[in-house]
Structure 1
Amino acid sequence: MAVRLFEGQDHAAAYQQYRVTPDELISRIMSYMEKKTPNQFNLALDVGCGSGQGTILLAPYFNKVVGTDISPAQLEQARANRNPPNVSYRECPAEELPFASGEVDLVTAMTAAHWFDRKKFLLEADRVLRPGGCLALLSYTMDFELEYGDISNTLNEICKEFYAALFPYRDPYLGTSSVKIYSDMFDSCSYPDKEWNECLRIKRNLPLNRYISMVETFATYRRLVRKDPAEAGRLSADVRNKLMSAMNVSSPDTEVTMVVKYFYWLAHKP
């Protein structure tokens, strides 16, 4: 991997607990595969699998699913899951996958490919994919929205303050736009049969506190924690209090709807 992150035990545990599992995206990936390459679902490879939330979702569709990551802490969390018997994990870089050429039916990376050496990863994904196999890369923008009664706009102005405070801690490797990273990767993919999907809004009902905890798993927030843990704690508390005040509630366990805006692309190897 070009960038190593999410390697501490506490961060890996938080990642496992709070990150959103993209069930809706898995359905779209499998629908695409069923159209392009029906009845060829032997091996799926989830690269940069983290704590395995997305890896497990592939299990019902394939004979074998392997999640790979460079972080031992993340893989420890993944192996602690109640994994189906056809799911396993390996430690390796995204650019050096321990599979034979043409062995894999699906290569996917869920909110991870932006950290890879993107050119090397695409070459390696092409190497391990069999002819007719599929590549699926997905991620989301960091501007999560909240819905709550008729004050959603007010809440989202407060959320924007949260994101703006974290933006200076964005890793320079990512540039200013994750969407552009994936769009550039899409453009550089040589497969003629491919499709780009700009936005799929996924909603989850959850306690307000869980939304705060989700943002606290962002790499930007973790960089702030390393620089100034007191400031990071103050920022979270300030945003939480502003949101509760706008909602006119006294408990951070009050349920809201969180909207995550995914983008993704799919490609079919000739």
Structure 2
Amino acid sequence: MSYMERKKGTKPFNLAVDVGCGSGQGTNLLAPYFAKVVGTDVSPAQLEMAVTNKNPPNVSYRECPAEDLPFSSGEVDLVTAMTAAHWFDREKFLLEADRVLRPGGCLALLSYTMDFGVEYGDVPNKTLKDICDEFYAALLPFRNPYIGTSSVKIYSDMLDSCSYPDKEWNECLRVKRILPLSGYFGLVETFSSYQKLLQKDPAEAERLSNDIRKKLMSAMKVSSADTEVTVVTKYFYWLARKPV
């Protein structure tokens, strides 16, 4: 929003579109800054979850592909996609975002690396990192080849493909939040790679999670997975402004 205020300047902002919104967690964060926020997704199941959330009155949802947005040309102040753009047809999406954006409107694409960090008390971060890295290494063979080993390059390439001269890349924004250790596993188990392993071999997926959980609890010297830890997410994102 600070980027928009610097670059676009004209407030209030009218319309933000969150593409690939999923259950709407990111969509709702935009509500205080825009007259209207619309989350879009191709998944009816995800949108059903989004609608059942407690949404601000200016937030609504539409089912549509990222490459065919139901908005008039030049209608939108902000097009954003949070941990979703790597699934889009990138060339078609950039063209569609350009179509719906107002002159001076902004495009913001955000995602995070899969190597979440865990911090706890005075336990050396490297000790916990090495255990977590075992988890990620075991899941790597199940990662979708479309994404590859890291989605950072996808986003970097998309930025290079964006024709707007006014754009910026942010490599790593660390965000820390307090969660029970079980919450960390809940996050990792939402990864598509874990879900693919779970589908292929449920017993192996469970064994892997339990093994990493035991190793972390042993290193932390705790007996409960309800123990609170600091989970570190490393976001990367790029921002661009459509020429006036």
What TM-score comes out, normalization by structure 2 length?
0.97
Does the residue aligned with 1:42 lie in a helix, a strand or coil?
strand
Does the residue aligned with 2:219 lie in a helix, a strand or coil?
helix
Kindly provide the amino acid, as one letter, of the partner of residue 44 in structure 2: P
Kindly provide the amino acid, as one letter, of the partner of residue 34 in structure 2: F
Q: CA deviation at 1:40?
A: 4.7
How many angstroms apart in 1 are the aligned matches of 2:191 and 2:45?
Answer: 16
Aligned partner of 2:195 among 222, 229, 238: 222
How many angstroms apart in 2 are the aligned matches of 1:176 and 1:146?
Answer: 21
Aligned partner of 1:175 among 148, 153, 162: 148
1:175-205 Cα distance to aligned partner (Å, 9 max, x none): 2221100000001100000000000000001
Kindly provide the amino acid, as one letter, of the partner of residue 243 in structure 1: L
Q: What 5-or-longer segments of structure 2 have no aligned partner?
A: none
Kindly provide the amino acid, as one letter, of the partner of residue 223 in structure 2: S
How many angstroms apart in 2 are the aligned matches of 1:117 and 1:203?
Answer: 31
Does the residue aligned with 2:54 lie in a helix, a strand or coil?
coil
Aligned partner of 1:211 among 184, 199, 217: 184
How many angstroms apart in 2 are the aligned matches of 1:269 and 1:168?
Answer: 39
Task: Tell me whether 1:45 sits opposite 2:10 in the alignment.
Answer: no
How many angstroms apart in 2 are the aligned matches of 1:59 and 1:68?
Answer: 15
Kindly provide the amino acid, as one letter, of the partner of residue 131 in structure 2: I
Q: Which residue of 2 aligns with 1:93?
A: 65
Q: Which residue of 2 aligns with 1:131?
A: 103
How many angstroms apart in 1 are the aligned matches of 2:106 and 2:117?
Answer: 31
Q: CA deviation at 1:262?
A: 0.3
Q: Which residue of 1 aligns with 2:3?
A: 32
Task: Tell me whether 1:104 sits opposite 2:80 in the alignment.
Answer: no
Q: Which residue of 1 aligns with 2:158?
A: 185
Q: CA deviation at 1:150?
A: 2.5
Task: Tell me whether 1:119 sits opposite 2:97 in the alignment.
Answer: no
Kindly provide the amino acid, as one letter, of the partner of residue 91 in structure 1: E
Report % sequence identity: 79
How many angstroms apart in 1 are the aligned matches of 2:202 and 2:88?
Answer: 28
Whether the 8 Å contact between 1:40 and 1:105 is mirrored in structure 2 is: no
Higher strand proportion (structure 1 or 2) = 2
Q: Which residue of 2 aligns with 1:241?
A: 214
How many angstroms apart in 2 are the aligned matches of 1:265 and 1:138?
Answer: 7
Task: Tell me whether 1:259 sits opposite 2:228 in the alignment.
Answer: no
RMSD: 0.7
Give the number of aligned pairs: 241
1:17-52 Cα distance to aligned partner (Å, 9 max, x none): xxxxxxxxxxxxx00001111215100000000000
Q: What 5-or-longer segments of structure 1 have no aligned partner?
A: 1-29
Task: Tell me whether 1:81 sits opposite 2:57 in the alignment.
Answer: no
Against the structure 1 CA distance between its residues 163 and 211, is the aligned structure 2 distance closer, same or farther, given a 3 Å change threshold?
same
Equivalent runs, 1:144-183 vs 2, <5 Å = 144-151=116-123, 152-183=125-156
Does the residue aligned with 1:134 lie in a helix, a strand or coil?
strand
How many angstroms apart in 1 are the aligned matches of 2:118 and 2:180?
Answer: 11
Aligned partner of 1:69 among 21, 24, 41: 41
What TM-score comes out, normalization by structure 1 length?
0.88
Whether the 8 Å contact between 2:12 and 2:35 is mirrored in structure 1 is: no
